[in-house]
């Protein structure tokens, strides 16, 4: 993240006046500048948003303590979309991190994304805007990256700033693993006492709750049930249970698809090619939130999708039953009336604006939060200003995040509306199709509006071609190895 500098035209000034002005500047600097080392920041949650916040803080000279409940970082989750706005923020904060992410991603450029009829697998609508808007606006192209790979990139960037060559230029991050924030209190001086579940107590000038949709910091701030999930919490039921798998799977359209949703009776199904020949799939099944987990998920899904396209059934059949994950989908209503700040405590990412996964903006919005929050913290002239700046952070973010939350819900509801209309698809094509490009253009255009860094089209296409070439080699090698295993004789 580059430090802003003001440049002024030089002119002749008497030496006495120059010395006087210099003394005045020094006095102002002393009385109006808050040194980053004076601000203690504790971040609850070492997920993608929490780690990126630590990087933004370190780049501006602030130290950060990140509290993560897992004892060690491990591979978790499948591919996620990091859209142009998220990539633009990455590029602004750190060119090395931006390149590292590209080196571990596959591009959306040159692929097709859209909605297919779940029964026939014919395209209904396509999202050209996901690639065309970045090209038109000269923005970094969207990428698909494994959550665990992105986590590794973020941790590598944190470690880079600890190296002896650059350590003096940056702040440092301390990772506190195997524990979590359970509560906090703030005294009259603004010092936040942060209680961890192992009995440790930390002290901070700012506490940031980046601990996800079931955030304990949020629960304490809003007086909600602590450590309660699902229907016992204040989260909103989306009406869907989500099943997912990530098998190694070779298909004719593997290198052509960016993101594809199949809609059909009652449910919808999504596939998204991952790296190394794997295909991430999600099945959104209409479900009550109180339903128990399905004991034989593969058999259950094969039965549900029996009359659907072979493209779906073949992908399901390639997945081991024990590898299928399932959970009920929850999100939260925008915090329009509550705010995200309580004195020296604030929230970030899913803890304050959890979105549906069909909008591809969860990680990007968390990165935007971190970027803006640190800019505001850096502008503080005293610790007493921090509560006001944290409220400003909320005011600057609430409209955008609430709108994108709404778009995610709208997409989900639109799919529910589309499925009963499949028998009259020709009429839908005639009436609806002409308007959809405008809808997608507006939706993606708004999502990509927060993009502080540009990228030339020539550079973006060059990077995308490089990523696609690596992606192709990795995947073909993985399929070849898998084929060899399948042909290996029994012992």
The torsion angles phi and psi of 13, rounded to 5 degrees, stand at: -130, 135
Mean pLDDT by 10 residues, the chain (491 residues): 39 39 40 82 97 98 96 84 97 98 95 91 87 95 95 96 82 96 95 96 98 94 81 77 95 94 89 94 89 92 96 97 92 84 96 89 97 97 96 97 91 66 60 71 93 96 96 95 62 38
Judged on CB neighbours under 10 Å (0-12, 13-18, 19+), 42 is buried
d(CA 79, CA 105): 9
What's the number of domains the chain is made of?
1
Residue 257 domain flag? no
d(CA 224, CA 257): 42
Residue 486 domain flag? no
Residue 130 domain flag? yes
Q: What is the pLDDT of residue 266?
A: 83
Residue 98 structural domain:
36-236+331-474
Q: What is the pLDDT of residue 104?
A: 96
Q: What is the pLDDT of residue 7?
A: 33
d(CA 20, CA 419): 75
Residue 427 domain flag? yes
d(CA 324, CA 318): 11
Residue 317 domain flag? no
Are the C-beta atoms of residues 448 and 85 closer than 8 Å to each other?
yes
Please, what is the end-to-end C-alpha distance for the chain in angstroms?
A: 57
Q: What is the pLDDT of residue 417?
A: 63
Residue 223 domain flag? yes
Residue 266 domain flag? no
Q: What is the pLDDT of residue 32?
A: 52
How many CA within 13 A on the CB side of residue 66? 29
d(CA 130, CA 109): 9
- Nearest alpha carbon to residue 51 among 182, 156, 126: 156
pTM: 0.88
Residue 423 domain flag? yes
Residue whose tokens read 């007086």: 223
d(CA 401, CA 217): 19
Question: The domain spanning residue 368 has which CATH number?
Answer: 3.50.50.60
Both tokens of 271, joined, read 């596939």
Are the C-beta atoms of residues 312 and 328 closer than 8 Å to each other?
no
Q: What is the pLDDT of residue 337?
A: 80
- Nearest alpha carbon to residue 240 among 125, 323, 358: 358
């Amino acid at each position: 993240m580059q430090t802003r500098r003001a440049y002024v035209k030089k002119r002749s000034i008497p030496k006495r006046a120059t010395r006087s002005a210099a003394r005045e500047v020094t006095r102002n600097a002393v009385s109006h500048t808050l040194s980053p080392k004076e601000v203690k920041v504790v971040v609850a949650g070492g997920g993608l948003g929490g780690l990126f916040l630590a990087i933004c803080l370190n780049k501006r000279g602030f130290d950060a303590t990140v509290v993560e409940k897992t004892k060690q970082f491990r591979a978790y989750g499948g591919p996620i979309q990091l859209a142009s706005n998220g990539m633009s923020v990455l590029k602004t904060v750190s060119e090395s991190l931006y390149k590292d992410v590209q080196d571990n991603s596959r591009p959306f450029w040159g692929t097709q994304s859209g909605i297919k009829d779940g029964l026939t697998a014919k395209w209904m609508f396509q999202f050209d805007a996901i690639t065309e808007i970045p090209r038109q606006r000269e923005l970094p192209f969207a990428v698909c990256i494994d959550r665990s790979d992105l986590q590794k990139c973020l941790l590598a960037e944190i470690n880079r700033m600890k190296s002896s060559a650059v350590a003096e230029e940056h702040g440092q991050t301390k990772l506190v693993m195997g524990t979590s924030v359970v509560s906090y209190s703030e005294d009259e001086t603004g010092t936040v006492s942060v209680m961890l579940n192992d009995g440790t107590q930390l002290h901070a000038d700012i506490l940031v709750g980046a601990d996800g949709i079931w955030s304990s910091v949020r629960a304490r701030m809003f007086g909600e049930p602590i450590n309660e999930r699902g229907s016992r919490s204040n989260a909103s039921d989306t009406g869907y249970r989500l099943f997912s798998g990530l098998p190694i799977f070779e298909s004719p359209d593997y290198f052509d698809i960016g993101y594809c949703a199949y809609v059909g009776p009652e449910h919808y199904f999504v596939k998204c090619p991952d790296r190394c020949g794997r295909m991430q799939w999600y099945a959104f099944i209409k479900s009550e939130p109180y339903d128990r987990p399905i004991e034989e998920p593969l058999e259950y899904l094969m039965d549900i999708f029996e009359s659907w396209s072979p493209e779906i059934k073949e992908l399901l059949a390639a997945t081991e039953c024990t590898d299928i994950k399932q959970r009920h989908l929850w999100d939260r209503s925008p915090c329009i009336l509550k705010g995200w700040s309580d004195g020296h405590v604030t929230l970030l990412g899913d803890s304050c604006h959890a979105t549906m996964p069909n909008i591809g903006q969860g990680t990007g919005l968390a990165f935007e939060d971190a970027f803006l929050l640190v800019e505001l913290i850096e502008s503080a002239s005293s610790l007493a200003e921090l509560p006001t700046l944290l409220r400003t952070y909320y005011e600057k973010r609430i409209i955008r995040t609430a709108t994108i939350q709404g778009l995610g819900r709208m997409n989900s509801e639109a799919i529910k509306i589309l499925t009963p209309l499949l028998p009259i698809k020709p009429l839908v094509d005639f009436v609806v199709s002409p308007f959809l490009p405008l809808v997608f253009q507006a939706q993606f255009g708004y999502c990509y509006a927060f993009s502080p860094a540009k990228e030339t089209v020539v550079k973006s296409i060059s990077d995308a071609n490089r990523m696609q070439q690596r992606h192709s080699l990795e995947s073909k090698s993985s399929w070849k190895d898998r084929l060899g295993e399948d042909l290996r004789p029994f012992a």
